[in-house]
Amino acid sequence: MSEAVRLPAALAQAMRALADAARPAEACGLLVGERWRVVALAPSSNLAEAPDRFEIDTAMHLALQRRLRGSGRAVIGVWHSHPEGPAEPSVHDMAGAWDQALVWLITGSDGTRAWAPGAGGFREVVLDAA
Ligand SMILES: [Zn+2]
């Protein structure tokens, strides 16, 4: 995956608002689109309700995948916020990168950044917010 991730400015703003609203916990959600163009954000409850980790609602994830079937769109990534730190993957994120086909967007103190999980850890990807 070498191409940039494209994120509409309105979604970047929505991420900032959700991140602020979830404080002191992390906010999280799934990214819907076509590789790697994000067209929608599906916010999730953070089942971990923690300031340093997140857990996406599996029932929401499955329902979303059912809804997307046949639409040409798919879950292409995961989004969450870092209430206290930069938008860089944490040790919890390293452990939770369960699917290397997904792109990760993290909103932190330095804005929203994109990451691709791989065998050697996360690699930063260009985020084209337009
Ligand atoms: Zn994180």
Ligand 1 centroid–CA 64 distance in Å is 22
Ligand 1 centroid–CA 95 distance in Å is 10
Q: Do the beta carbons of residue 79 and residue 48 sit within 8 Å?
A: no
Helix (H) or strand (E) holding 68: helix 58-68
Q: How many CB atoms lie within 10 A of CB 34?
A: 13
Q: Cis (ω within 30 of 0) for the bond into 36?
A: yes
**Which residues make beta-bridge pairs with 125?**
114
Ligand 1 centroid–CA 96 distance in Å is 9
State the average pLDDT over residues 70-96.
95
pLDDT at 97 over 70: yes
pLDDT at 91 over 80: yes
Report pLDDT for 2. Answer: 57
Helix (H) or strand (E) holding 71: none
Domains in the chain and their CATH numbers? 5-129 (3.40.140.10)
pLDDT at 112 over 60: yes
| For the chain, percent of residues with pLDDT exceeding 90 | 84
What's the chain's average pLDDT?
94
Predicted confidence (pLDDT) per residue in 17-67, tens digit: 999 999 999 999 999 999 889 999 999 999 998 899 999 999 999 999 999
**Residue showing tokens 């494209």:** 6
Ligand 1 centroid–CA 80 distance in Å is 6
